């Protein structure tokens, strides 16, 4: 059916913090030699294969964030071209059909995505650094050097351990042996996520138990307990230790860029996600935050991660979840199956009891839905979450349903074609052509719709057979598909005309 715009959840996460990362429009790129190497399907393997270290940006020409990154990326490439040895920055148009297979191979789910290729492409890691030129340069200089930096002085230690980031330090009587080798392997594997150092003198480090005997690994972090030690050098145990100790009891989402990596880690967690959104400057914020943190401590390791978000920084989340500012302070929980549970206007004394009710299964799911339209007499009918059942599943009709996003260019191109299809069926009450804004309405997880890009089009026959449409986006092709898949015995009823006066069915909260 043609290209779709990727809408993976990870893209949403970065959209939440994009306003902080890209605060200003990037300046026009100066006319000069291009230092970013342009790749495509014909030279990708050759360029990556002959370098020990190369960074590749997977982009799309129409992507706004890619356009903002371009001059910063080029400036960084210019600076790094004189590094010893030179650090190569490259780019590939992953939206080009000829390059699509390379994007698929490297699991590109959104633009821009940057990846670091090491050892001729034998090792591939996500780029997780800044997106402005100076930050890119500093990050890549560290990434191109040893995975762990030797700490020889207190100055070295203070430069590495700033109190604002997570740093993992190995302490060894000598830099050899199985423990040191396992530590080095850990540093190589996780170097894009954390900073690593190693030393033979524990007293050079800024805090912790100086009487502890090595070898050991000491993890420094800017939250909860600030220093944690481990002495088990089994590689799997070390990875689990890092994974568990680098998640804050309560992740803070605000405009501080130092918190953004922890926000990303929060949303990538397999746990259910509890989010408290409130005005941080409100006089009741401290009491509510204290109760919320107490509950988070009580639920450590029990399958729920906790986040507190400042209202000012959380507008993207409000749009995504369909929340309203008059509901603040609120708690919303999202589970991995897409269900959401909402507690609006929460007070400190409500937190513990409501979380317990959720865990006991005594809270009904919350559903995001646009209002039912006052009139629905256009050829293409408008479906919202509260009318999905009635219009699509219970109407006894053959329904072609488009899932779209208002900002999607391909959706805008399809819209007039669907209008023409709908006009063709205006005299046939057994066929409905409809559309649903998937950014403003929840799609039930049990409805069998797999919407991973826009536009996505499904056809549900009157007898209940569900088929995804992936043909040409022409009036003729869509009508041919409908005629092939429709049930001729569908109920002939009057055209759908919902009004806002009809009471929508809503789950109790």
For the annotated catalytic residues, the residue numbers are: 63, 66, 408, 411
Backbone dihedral angles phi then psi of residue 114, each to the nearest 5 degrees = -110, 135
Question: For residue 72, which phi and psi values (nearest 5 degrees)?
Answer: -70, -40
Task: Give one word for 461, left, alpha or beta, with left for phi > 0 and alpha for psi -120 to 50.
Answer: beta
Residue 172, φ and ψ in degrees, nearest 5:
-135, 140
Interior angle at CA 347, CA 346 and CA 350, nearest 5: 85
* Cβ neighbour number for residue 26 with a 10 Å cutoff: 17
- Residue 497 φ/ψ, nearest 5 degrees: -140, 80
**From CA 263, how far away is CA 272, in angstroms rounded?**
14
Q: Taking a C-beta distance cutoff of 8 angstroms, is the pair 491, 430 a contact? A: yes
- The alpha carbon dihedral of 122, 132, 220, 241 has a sign of negative
Burial 28-49, CB ≥16 within 10 A → b, else e: eeeeeeebbbebeeeebeebbe
């Amino acid at each position: 059916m043609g290209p779709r715009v990727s809408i993976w959840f990870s893209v949403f996460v970065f959209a939440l913090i994009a306003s902080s990362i890209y605060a200003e429009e990037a300046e026009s790129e100066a006319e000069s030699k291009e230092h970013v190497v342009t790749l495509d399907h014909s030279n990708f393997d050759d360029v990556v294969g002959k370098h020990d270290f190369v960074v590749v940006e997977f982009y799309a020409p129409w992507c706004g964030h890619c356009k903002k990154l371009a001059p910063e990326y080029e400036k960084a490439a210019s600076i790094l071209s004189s590094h010893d040895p030179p650090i190569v920055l490259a780019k590939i148009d992953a939206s080009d059909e000829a390059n699509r297979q390379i994007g698929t191979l490297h699991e590109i789910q959104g633009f821009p995505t940057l990846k670091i290729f090491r050892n001729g492409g034998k090792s591939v890691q996500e780029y997780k650094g800044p997106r402005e030129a100076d930050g890119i340069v500093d990050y890549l200089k560290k990434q191109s050097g040893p995975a762990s930096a030797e700490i020889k002085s207190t100055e070295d230690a203070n430069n590495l351990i700033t109190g604002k980031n997570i740093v993992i330090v190995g302490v060894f009587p000598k830099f050899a042996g199985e423990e040191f080798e396992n530590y080095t392997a850990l540093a190589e594997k996780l170097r894009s996520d954390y900073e690593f150092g190693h030393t033979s003198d524990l007293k050079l480090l800024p805090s912790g138990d100086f009487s502890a005997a090595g070898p050991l690994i000491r993890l420094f972090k800017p939250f909860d307990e600030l220093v944690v030690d481990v002495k088990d050098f089994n590689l799997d145990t070390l990875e689990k230790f890092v994974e568990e100790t680098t998640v804050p009891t309560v992740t803070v989402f605000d405009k501080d860029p130092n918190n953004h990596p922890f926000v990303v880690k929060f949303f990538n967690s397999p746990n259910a996600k509890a989010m408290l959104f409130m005005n941080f400057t409100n006089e009741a914020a401290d009491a509510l935050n204290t109760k919320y943190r107490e509950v988070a401590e009580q639920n450590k390791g029990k399958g729920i991660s906790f986040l507190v978000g400042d209202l000012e920084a959380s507008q993207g989340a409000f749009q995504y979840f369909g929340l309203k500012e008059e509901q603040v302070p609120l708690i919303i929980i999202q589970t991995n199956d897409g269900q959401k549970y909402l507690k609006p206007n929460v007070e400190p004394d409500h937190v513990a009891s409501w979380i317990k009710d959720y865990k006991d299964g005594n809270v009904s799911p919350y559903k995001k839905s646009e209002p039912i339209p006052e009139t629905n007499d256009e050829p293409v009918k408008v479906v919202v979450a509260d009318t999905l059942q009635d219009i699509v599943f219970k109407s006894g009709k053959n329904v072609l349903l488009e899932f779209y996003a208002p900002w999607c260019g391909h959706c805008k191109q399809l819209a007039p074609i669907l209008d023409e299809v709908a006009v063709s069926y205006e005299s046939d009450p057994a066929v409905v052509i409809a559309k649903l804004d998937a950014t403003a309405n929840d799609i039930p997880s049990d409805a069998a719709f797999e919407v991973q890009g826009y536009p996505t089009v499904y056809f549900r026959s009157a007898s209940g057979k569900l088929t995804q449409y992936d043909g040409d986006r022409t009036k003729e092709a869509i009508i041919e598909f409908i005629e092939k898949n429709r049930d001729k015995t569908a109920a002939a009823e009057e055209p759908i005309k919902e009004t806002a006066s009809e009471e929508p069915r809503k789950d109790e909260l």
